[in-house]
Amino acid sequence: MQKVKTLDGYHVFSIEKDDNNCYLADKENYKKEIENLLSSVNDIKFDSLILIFGIDTGEYLDSVHDVLCEKNKVLIFEPNKDIFNYNKEKINKDNIHLIFYDKDNIKANLYKEINSTNFNNLYVHAFGNYAEVYKYDYEIFIENLDDAYYTACSSISVANRFKDIFIKNFIANLKALKNSTPLNSYEDINKGIPAIVVSAGPSLDKNIADMVTHKKELERYFIIAGSRTLKALIKNNIKPDMIVSIDPVDDNYDMMKDYLKENSPLAFYEYSNRYLVRDYEGEKIYLSTFLSNTIQELNNLKGTFLGGSVAHTCIDIANIMGCSPIILVGQDLAFTYDKHHSESAIFESDDTKNYEASLKVENIFGEKIRTNITLNQFRLKMEEYIDFYKTHKQVEFINVSYGAEIKGAPHKELCDVFKTYTNNNVNKKCIVDKSIQVDAETVVSDVIKYLEEYIDKTNNGEALCNSLLTNELDKSLVDIDENDEDFQKFLDVMDIVNDFESSTERYYLGGYYNKFLFDVKEEIFNMHAVDYESLTSNLKYQSKCFLSYFLKMKGLLEKVKSLALETFAEFYYAINQ
């Protein structure tokens, strides 16, 4: 590379790329390149995340820093190792970070930074000529950025859509814990046993036909199915060794309502459909998520990987049991044969859903196949999971479906799999270990106490903010004396906020909490970076914002309390009468 002075007095790097000499920015009007960058971030919010592809000579750093506030964060991805090394010592700002672009690590870096509170406040800019000079790398960068964005976006969407159901299911499912076996009891019990994870994609009908042909061999495999595929298996006289149900809605109950007397164990977690967990007569396996963080008696319990679909959970259970290979059946993740599900796994509720394809990916034959954003996100999360465990645990994954290619899980015909994996060991079935020691009614009581305690705190916070707003003086939090009475009141306000947002009991609020944080940032603390210093130091402005915060917080807590009491009355009180 060569550092060249531009006509307007800046410097630009010239590099050799694909036998061509390339400038990484305009060598005649470099100032315009900096202005283009600044114009793309001129309206940033106080907590915006700025992603820049390419640093070149780094001569835009001071200009970018001048438009930031202390809460902003800038990530600069540099694909040229020499240029990265040239600049890494020049980065001396706490909120500006230079990262060497590596296509193998870019996904992890983006997923680490983009979340459900900042996904809609991103600013992305390819500096100078980087998008053309490093065209392939930039495309990979944008592809992974889109994945991280949609993952964060979907998480807040799910939180909002299911927030009521999550609370009701969690309160009701507490009753099932003492009669359930923890997932820990299954750790490594089927080491080396092949597992078949049955999903409901369009390939399922063909896969089930192959399973029926090799029914004798199935005795040597551990079969894990979701709620949607149970009917198809039972009708073909195939009995799964485990059923997994994580979906919260009543559709899941309808899919299994004719099979509630089955004796295959049902794996569930806190948010699984409460009526299915209550009415299913077989053994139950508890997959812990947040309760292991809030209830001391449960803090040793294992949970599973949650990648968005029940298949992710099934795969992780097979992995926890030590199974290998893990064989993916009906895992199309695309509209194979122009169908959204297999014929044997379609229910009345599907008539009301919009299964619309919006993009294309490669299938197992290298051809294009239609899919949608949701299915594609499931595929990417599955590939991420497979990549990790293939490397760290040497687990083998096989895809016998005919839909989208799943990297890390090569396609094989199921009949060939049965011929290759002639396992002679018998798999271990359900281990009944009802060792979970927790009193459901006590936990519900603790949840209600927590909600009432923080409702009282919101009332106290409201009173403090209203008191601060009555003061005629426009005090600055920067210049105020630390012994000032109003300053002490404001510290009390912040104590309530920090206590609420850091308490482990906030997990009880489920999707309500995530949606609350998103809403308060968008509706209450929605300030531009240029105004951040003046507004955050203004006592009256801050008091007004936190008054709105407490009003919204109280509404959230009262709603959750109402849902919890309503569910308690349905699942506990009525039964005990």
pLDDT digits (tens, 9 = 90+) for 256-295: 999 999 999 999 999 999 999 999 999 999 999 989 989 9
The pLDDT tens digits of the residues spanning 461-516 come to 999 999 999 987 788 998 889 899 999 999 999 999 999 999 999 999 998 998 99
Q: Helix 310-320 to helix 373-392 angle, to the nearest 10 degrees?
A: 10
What number is the average pLDDT over the span 398-404? 97
- The whole-angstrom separation of Cα 119 and Cα 148 is 8
CA atoms lying within 13 Å on the CB side of residue 191: 5
The pLDDT tens digits of the residues spanning 191-204 come to 999 999 999 999 99
pLDDT on residue 574: 57
Percentage of the chain with pLDDT > 70?
A: 99
- The whole-angstrom separation of Cα 468 and Cα 542 is 10
Residues pairing with 11 in the sheet: 5
Is the pLDDT at 152 greater than 90, yes or no? no
pLDDT on residue 544: 96
What number is the average pLDDT over the span 51-76? 95
| Tokens 């600049």 sit on residue | 87
Q: Assign residue 567 a region: left if phi > 0, alpha if psi is -120 to 50, beta otherwise?
A: alpha
Mean pLDDT of the chain: 92
Structure tokens at 377: 């996100």
The pLDDT tens digits of the residues spanning 445-461 come to 999 999 999 999 999 99
Asked if residues 83 and 107 have their Cβ atoms less than 8 Å apart, the reply is no
- The whole-angstrom separation of Cα 100 and Cα 84 is 6
pLDDT on residue 147: 86
pLDDT on residue 577: 45
Residues pairing with 221 in the sheet: none
Asked if residues 537 and 477 have their Cβ atoms less than 8 Å apart, the reply is yes
Q: Is 14 helix (H, G, I), strand (E, B) or coil?
A: strand
What number is the average pLDDT over the span 570-577? 68
